[in-house]
Structure 1
């Protein structure tokens, strides 16, 4: 783990991985987004019709397309130029989505108080400076606007976490270690190189949000629904510990 690696290195690695990563996405995202994150995000957002929404870290754009189909006027940014190009290619022209390249730590090209909703789906853990990102989201939200974001659960997905297994490969329990380490580490996700994640404790996340000025309204630790378990039975193991956490905040 090298603290010298920051957001610029993360951008480079995600840009190199963008095409292969996007191949695993349908119009509902990948399996984890379909099963866990989408139900949580949309239960917290509610009706977005005629709302100005920022998809902060849009990736290949599946969530932007869903939001547009639900009647939102969507602005979408991502720090990977390749992701933005893929998103544009996948988005029909009739959908009301405006894509642009931008790092969520500093979206200076966007005006203050210009969005009713901001959603950031599995992005904040990919940024070295979460404080700048939260301040940026606060600046961009209209008064009383809503900020919803999802991340890997920092209590369970840590720099050294993973399944403890028997000699036959049976999963015994989920190990967690180095929870109080805060900084960058590599996760075995990618093609030729690992992706970078920036770990913080739950205390750091919540206190930073409060100090930024946000009011915490709700938290969800997503579980698979009965319908999703019928469709994907292997995800029953996700009742053992949560992989994700989703926050809803108000300015």
Structure 2
């Protein structure tokens, strides 16, 4: 039985941030892991509705522990959707009496009185759980192939849910705000450390096979690194709304800035064989096909590919769409005259593999052209500074050298009317920070030759028609790069004498060896075997 899940980021009161809860879906119904704070009830109900979960379709609410930012909306959700609430018996007192110390060994009694008021967990939010869980509880009777494992330390009744697919939902045992780590709020440190050790190999709790860990802040694959598969899961969740809104004309930065600049920079492609990497719903691929290029396009999000294929059936342009990952392209060496990537490369954590794969599938003399958010001006610490009329006059830029780990950004198309923005779930996009030098050194180190760089700026006429693009006149939002694969491998040194000729031949042999190694590495990734330091397991396809 397959299980899909949706990560829901719910706000905390007074701008204190957000917490995650998770909605799991299979052919038996929906299952909610944690419920957020009391102030997030309306947001959670909206998210459940957008996900297609109506009254009577929610089978179970599982609470990983009894803190108010996890149980705050549970009673209201139970009343509206008719789902039983399940939690560990040790934390039941938190829900029944608003006693945050009910299962804890330490804590301030004054804080115990203040926190429920701070979170708005009053008498109308109290409840008694319908199901009391313990270590080893089986959730199969509710239609979910999952079991409960006790993970005390944050609270006495903290639990995790381990699914048949190897996913672990664990509340506050772990967090991933900047780097994956043990939860920072600890009541019983020895118990917390013992719970963390259950993630270690060979532990009798059987958690050593977990593939992904989902916690209160952030999520990551087991081992601590988000990969292209995990990113693809986010893009599959975004794909339906993204396709609908972009085809209604609300992606103005694409339609009136990025894509026109990209096409203006593009060399002649008539009659040439091209690959669009990370094609999304196919808008830009269709622009290339209309220039009489023979196009193949891949994306790791099958929902996007489904929409792209449907459009190809409606208006045939000879485009072949495939569900595939950019880190392991399913094509032979030297298959394409050119490759493109419209705003996709910066979304893939394994950037080196993407660039190497593009180099591998290009014919000698072919080119790669791609656009990304500008590394200098799209930093984790960016702030848009506006005047009293709402016009951008400057940007505050910070944390340029910030972490390369994924930061989940939430946004939607600013050109969409407010009623439309309010009616849809914001896009959740994993962002990976790369500096300008990292991008250039990666391209040059792979063997590419730099041909052209552009930083598009909208004209006054375009801004008059689309005022939301005005901020892109202050700093460039996008960076466009075109590089080429040498028609014959480059060498270091050389010359016209015999020694130079020997070095040139040596360079050719070295180039062919690199080509063979790249092909072997790509095949290993496709087959899910060890290649270098990382172990890539076969799984559902994800966005690239």
Aligned position for 1:30: 251
Give yes or no for contact 1:222–1:245 (8 Å, CA) kept in 2.
yes
Take 2:390 and 2:264, find their aligned partners in 1: how far apart are those partners?
36
Structure 2 vs 1, CA of residues 148 and 29 (structure 1 numbering), >3 Å: closer, same or farther?
A: farther
Indicate which of 187, 190, 201 corresponds to 2:409: 187
Take 2:427 and 2:287, find their aligned partners in 1: how far apart are those partners?
31
Aligned position for 1:9: 230
Aligned position for 2:484: 250
Post-superposition CA distance 1:141-190 (Å, at most 9, x none): 01110100100001010112121357996645312111012412121236
Take 2:390 and 2:263, find their aligned partners in 1: how far apart are those partners?
36
Take 2:244 and 2:327, find their aligned partners in 1: how far apart are those partners?
27
Post-superposition CA distance 1:188-225 (Å, at most 9, x none): 23636721011110000000100000001110001113
Give yes or no for contact 2:346–2:431 (8 Å, CA) kept in 1.
yes
Structure 2 vs 1, CA of residues 218 and 182 (structure 1 numbering), >3 Å: closer, same or farther?
A: farther
Does residue 212 in structure 1 map to residue 446 in structure 2?
A: yes
Give yes or no for contact 1:27–1:62 (8 Å, CA) kept in 2.
no
RMSD of aligned residue pairs (Cα, Å): 2.2
**Once the 2 structures are TM-superposed, how far is the Cα of residue 76 of structure 1 from its aligned partner?**
0.3
**Once the 2 structures are TM-superposed, how far is the Cα of residue 8 of structure 1 from its aligned partner?**
2.2
Aligned position for 2:434: 200
Indicate which of 463, 467, 475 corresponds to 1:229: 463
**Once the 2 structures are TM-superposed, how far is the Cα of residue 125 of structure 1 from its aligned partner?**
1.0
Aligned position for 1:147: 368
Aligned position for 1:99: 321
| 75-84 vs 92-101, greater mean Cα deviation | 92-101
Take 1:193 and 1:226, find their aligned partners in 2: how far apart are those partners?
29
Give yes or no for contact 1:229–1:236 (8 Å, CA) kept in 2.
yes
Take 1:106 and 1:27, find their aligned partners in 2: how far apart are those partners?
33
| 159-168 vs 191-200, greater mean Cα deviation | 159-168
Does residue 81 in structure 1 map to residue 302 in structure 2?
A: yes
Take 1:66 and 1:12, find their aligned partners in 2: how far apart are those partners?
27
User: After superposition, where does 1:31-46 map in structure 2 within 5 Å?
Assistant: 31-46=252-267
Which gives a bigger RCO, structure 1 or 2 (Cα 8 Å, sep 6+)? 1
Indicate which of 270, 280, 284 corresponds to 1:59: 280
Structure 2 vs 1, CA of residues 27 and 21 (structure 1 numbering), >3 Å: closer, same or farther?
A: closer
Give the unaligned 5+ runs of structure 1.
Answer: none
Give yes or no for contact 1:50–1:72 (8 Å, CA) kept in 2.
yes
Take 2:369 and 2:244, find their aligned partners in 1: how far apart are those partners?
26
Take 2:341 and 2:255, find their aligned partners in 1: how far apart are those partners?
16
Post-superposition CA distance 1:42-87 (Å, at most 9, x none): 1222321111010100000011112112211100000101110011
Give yes or no for contact 2:410–2:426 (8 Å, CA) kept in 1.
no
Higher strand share: 1
Give yes or no for contact 1:72–1:96 (8 Å, CA) kept in 2.
no
Structure 2 vs 1, CA of residues 61 and 51 (structure 1 numbering), >3 Å: closer, same or farther?
A: same
Q: TM-score, normalised by structure 2?
A: 0.44
Take 1:117 and 1:26, find their aligned partners in 2: how far apart are those partners?
26
Structure 2 vs 1, CA of residues 69 and 28 (structure 1 numbering), >3 Å: closer, same or farther?
A: farther
Post-superposition CA distance 1:8-27 (Å, at most 9, x none): 22111110110001112239
Which runs of at least 4 in structure 1 moved beyond 4 Å after TM superposition? Answer: 165-172
The structure number with the bigger radius of gyration is 2
| 225-234 vs 65-74, greater mean Cα deviation | 225-234
Provide the aligned length of Structure 1 versus Structure 2.
Answer: 250
Give yes or no for contact 2:392–2:474 (8 Å, CA) kept in 1.
no
Structure 2 vs 1, CA of residues 55 and 170 (structure 1 numbering), >3 Å: closer, same or farther?
A: closer
**Once the 2 structures are TM-superposed, how far is the Cα of residue 29 of structure 1 from its aligned partner?**
8.5
Aligned position for 1:118: 339
Aligned position for 1:239: 473
